[in-house]
A = this chain, B = another copy of it.
Amino acid sequence: MASRDGYQWTEKSGLVKGVPSIGVIQPASNIGGKQERYDVIVVGAGYCGLTAARDAASSGLKVLLLEARDRIGGRSWSSNIDGYPFEMGGTWVSWGQPHVWREISRYNMRQELELSYDFTKGVNHFTLTSQDGSRNMSHEEEDKLMQSALEKFVNVDGNIGKTVMPFPHDEFHNPEVKKFDKLSVADRMAQVKHQLSPDEYTAVLSFVMLCSCSTPDKTSFYEFLHWWALCNFSYEYCIEYLVKYKFRGGQSSFAIKFFEEALATGRLSYAFSTPVSHIKEHNEGVEVRTRTGSVYKAARLISAVPLNVLNDITFFPPLSQGKKAAASTGHVNKCVKVHAECRGPELRSWTGVNYPNGQLLYALGDGTTPAGNTHVVAFGADHDRLTPEKDIEVTKQALQDLTKMELERVVFHNWADDEFAKGAWFFSPPGLVTESLDDMRARQGNIFFASSDWAVGWRSFIDGAIEEGTRAALNVIQDLRMKGGAPLRSVL
Contacts and interface: CB of A to CB of B under 8 A. Distances in A.
Contacts of A237: 232
Please state the number of chain copies in the assembly: 2
A158 interface: no
A106 interface: yes
Given A102-B470, A169-B105, A60 B111 contact: no
Interface residues of A, number: 37
A492 B267 CA distance: 8
Interface string A281-318: 00000000000000000000000000000000000000
A329 to B, nearest CB: 26
A169 B110 contact: yes
A474 interface: yes
Q: Considering residues A102, A264, A266, A491, which has the most beta carbons from chain B within 10 angstroms of its beta carbon?
A: A102
A8 B237 CA distance: 44
B168 A456 contact: no
Given A98-B98, A168-B95, A170-B110, A105 B457 contact: yes
A235 to B, nearest CB: 14
B106 A98 contact: no
Counting chain B CB atoms within 10 Å of each CB, which of A59, A101, A105 scores highest? A105
A113 B232 CA distance: 18
Interface in A34-53: none
B98 A95 contact: yes
A155 interface: no
Contact of A60 (B60, B96, B478): B60
A239 to B, nearest CB: 13
Contacts of A134: none
Contacts of A341: none
B98 A102 contact: yes
Contacts of A58: 58-59
A17 interface: no
Interface string A444-488: 000000000000110000000001001100100010010000000
Contact of A102 (B99, B265, B478): B99
Contacts of A267: 492
A492 B266 CA distance: 7
A106 B232 contact: no
Contacts of A227: none
B105 A467 contact: yes
A134 B264 CA distance: 63
Contact of A96 (B96, B264, B478): B96
Nearest to A102: B102
Contacts of A456: 105, 110
A117 interface: no
A119 interface: no
A113 B167 contact: yes
Contact of A105 (B105, B113, B265, B470): B470
A97 interface: yes
Identify the interface centre among A98, A170, A492: most chain B CB within 10 Å of its CB. A98
Contact of A95 (B108, B265, B457): B457
A308 to B, nearest CB: 25
A456 to B, nearest CB: 7
Contact of A232 (B232, B470, B481): B232
B169 A95 contact: yes
Contacts of A481: 264
A428 to B, nearest CB: 20
13 contacts: A58-B58, A59-B60, A95-B457, A96-B96, A98-B102, A99-B101, A105-B169, A106-B474, A113-B170, A232-B232, A232-B237, A265-B492, A266-B492
Interface of A: 58-60, 95-99, 101-102, 105-106, 108, 110-111, 113, 167-170, 173, 232, 237, 264-267, 456-457, 467, 470-471, 474, 478, 481, 491-492
Q: 9 shortest A-B CB distances, which residue pairs?
A: A98-B101, A98-B98, A102-B102, A266-B492, A110-B170, A95-B169, A98-B102, A58-B59, A60-B60
